[in-house]
Chain A
């Protein structure tokens, strides 16, 4: 009746347990996580690869939140005639430059880490943190400028979306700043242990994503249909 084709067991030689685990992304092979080395007696560490995957998934979810906001904006702008564009404070462009600069310093920090220059790593990390905080401060000043002009959350749909998008982005960036503070506090251990570098990589992924997201939001808020 039921016949099953059985594949003889394949005894793969245990792959050398590297810091990432897994042996690349394959479909049929022992792709993704499968195929790690023999379990260590102290329990198996979570492959650092998993952290990267987790971050990708978190970014996918965040992307969907902003995709939903975007479609809401496009529909809301197109559907009614009460949309009065809100003139954006010029400060936003300065903030944008600051945020871009923070991405650059974070990359410099990462390079320093790869090159084994621990001190420069920490310094560029501090610079990134300061620039990140400066961006948040700048956004708050931009809000104040709008408030001084009498533009509030409920003034107009365009201002509603402005406050919504800037605050949603700001909250996410604050999460990134939390991550940077974590890195700063652990800078020494990160320099000494190669395994810890994945945290830097993941934090950088998040930070650059927030940077790109802001550019996108700025375009969305400035481009008029």
Chain B
């Protein structure tokens, strides 16, 4: 509301001075970059944690240098305790899910490109936009600070199930102050995500330029829009769950903590009658839509890139938008499939199972449309294109194992095994990361005015592509063999023979981790030394490619474009070039 008196919040006058321009900026492009770099920092923290875990898993006696400096208690002499392994796992999951997968594809690229792609000068509420970034940063710092408190980060997993997460330090190291910080961090993150979602929705609906009908929106915008709606409805529920959990921890209430609990040989007498399952329901009502919050923007980016580098219209534009909507809707009806082992009624489980498999339908529509887009295209195998094809590959590989897990009787066996770890890393984690890489290579010229190095990009792609399959495919085998997840070592005799597989995966994890340094070098080197980029290096059609690279402060230098065409007019017979920009008044006769 504070903005109502200043409706010209983003006139052409760019703010002067470093602080207003780069730190407390209201410009959606700067905020988008801030989100992007926040996620980039976070992904390397998360990656480092996973490498420490893989290291410890296969060489449990190895002393990891410097780790005892970070946590003298958690890793005395560099040898991590089982509890500290769980802490690293918790932080890995939390950082990756919230601060990478939720942040970069939606808040990062979305903030930067949604307004430009719809022909707007900024987001609807620039001040709220800035606020949501700073709240998100505060959330990240709060979370990371738990590494430096006395008993370390929490160990209750990224899902933070009570009672473990609700009864305080009696339940383990990190469950005191560390878990408090976790809950506060997540609640803050929810606030930032809600403000961002509200802004995205209002921007998409209200700020489109003339001619930009909903059915002319690039699929990226559709994906950001649907994701914002899903986020608005689900983060509110996580926020509520977080409040209740915090009250159980510090307010002495018993929403989630049952009576007569014995933890660490102590009877907890100050709680009564709470229900841990209640938390699980609330959490997964958020948690499953969250999976789609992570992947839908990636689907949008992939669709956009595939069409451009196939030089063909996206196959089935309308089907693509409807399937995005269907996935967004169905994502709210399937949360129970995360709880098949919670003792739920088989009838309920059956209902959740059916809904879960129903998501396969819109997902398959998307997959076949991607393949249909590629089919017969004049493919330009740029790095961005490779990563987008990689996205499709990973989405299929990871998605198919979801059909196994959607069956309650199968899931009961596989639930606590590496099968699930392999499934969600491929379909959500790595696939979304590939979309981010694709988006980075595709949009880097626009964001920084220079091209990224394609050779380095391709080396990075192939190492990563082969590597992630080498890491995550064997996990399915391990899961079927009964290899339990979340264990810090495999001392049980039936898991001992599986250790060579783990070694194989760990070595590939180190290789893939190292390969990311190529990306980092490419990113920062290209920012300063890359070849200068023109306005439209990829011969794309959407509006961001009609403005200079990087775009001026108000995106269009006062000349708001008018849109005449859909976003994917590639390979148009009779057109001057083989593509038609969205704002081109060019008319081409209908031809078949």
Contact = CB atoms under 8 A, between A and B. Distances in A.
Contacts of B209: 34
Contacts of B206: 21-22, 32-33, 46-47, 49-50, 53
Contacts of B235: 61
Interface in A45-100: 45-51, 53-54, 57-58, 60-69, 71-72, 75-76, 79-83
A10 B565 CA distance: 10
A62 B236 contact: yes
The 8 closest A-B pairs by CB, nearest first: A80-B273, A64-B236, A43-B11, A154-B252, A68-B240, A33-B206, A82-B273, A45-B7
Contacts, number: 225
A57 B202 contact: yes
B546 interface: no
A31 to B, nearest CB: 7
Nearest to A79: B275
Contacts of B234: 64
Interface centre among A2, A76, A157, A179 (most CB of B within 10 A): A2
B497 interface: no
Nearest to B119: A34
Interface residues of B, number: 84
Given A9-B587, A196-B5, A61 B236 contact: yes
Contacts of A81: 273
Task: Give the interface size class of chain A.
Answer: 35 or more
Contacts of A35: 210
Interface in B235-275: 235-237, 239-241, 243-244, 247, 251-255, 259, 270, 272-275
Given A1-B312, A4-B313, A179-B1, A42 B247 contact: no
A65 B239 contact: yes
B247 A30 contact: no
B585 A9 contact: yes
A182 B1 contact: yes
Contacts of B211: 9-10, 12, 30, 34
Contacts of B274: 76, 80, 157
Interface of A: 1-10, 12, 21-22, 27-36, 39, 41-51, 53-54, 57-58, 60-69, 71-72, 75-76, 79-83, 153-154, 157, 160, 164, 168, 179, 182, 186, 189, 195-196, 198-199, 202-203
Nearest to B215: A28
Given A4-B569, A9-B564, A9-B585, A61 B232 contact: yes
Interface string B1-18: 111110111111000000
Interface stretch (B69-77, B191-199, B360-368): B191-199
Contacts of B247: 153, 160, 164
Contact of B125 (A3, A36, A42, A54): A54
B198 to A, nearest CB: 4
Given A8-B587, A32-B214, A46-B124, 10 more contacts: A21-B206, A33-B205, A33-B206, A34-B208, A43-B554, A46-B125, A68-B236, A69-B240, A154-B251, A164-B243
A117 B545 CA distance: 51
Interface of B: 1-5, 7-12, 121, 124-125, 128, 194, 197-199, 201-203, 205-215, 232-237, 239-241, 243-244, 247, 251-255, 259, 270, 272-275, 278, 281-282, 285, 311-313, 376, 554, 558-560, 564-566, 569-573, 580, 585, 587-592
Nearest to A54: B202
Nearest to A203: B1
Interface centre among B1, B234, B572 (most CB of A within 10 A): B1
A41 B558 contact: yes
B329 to A, nearest CB: 15
Contacts of A179: 1
A2 B591 contact: no
A196 B4 CA distance: 7
Given A3-B592, A33-B208, A65 B240 contact: yes
Interface centre among A7, A76, A79 (most CB of B within 10 A): A76
Contacts of B232: 57, 60-61, 64
Contacts of B376: 1
A153 B252 contact: yes
28 contacts: A2-B571, A5-B590, A6-B580, A12-B210, A21-B206, A27-B214, A33-B207, A41-B558, A42-B11, A43-B12, A44-B121, A45-B7, A46-B207, A50-B205, A51-B4, A54-B198, A57-B202, A61-B233, A75-B275, A75-B278, A76-B273, A79-B275, A82-B259, A154-B252, A157-B273, A168-B243, A195-B7, A199-B1
Given A34-B208, A82-B259, A43 B558 contact: yes
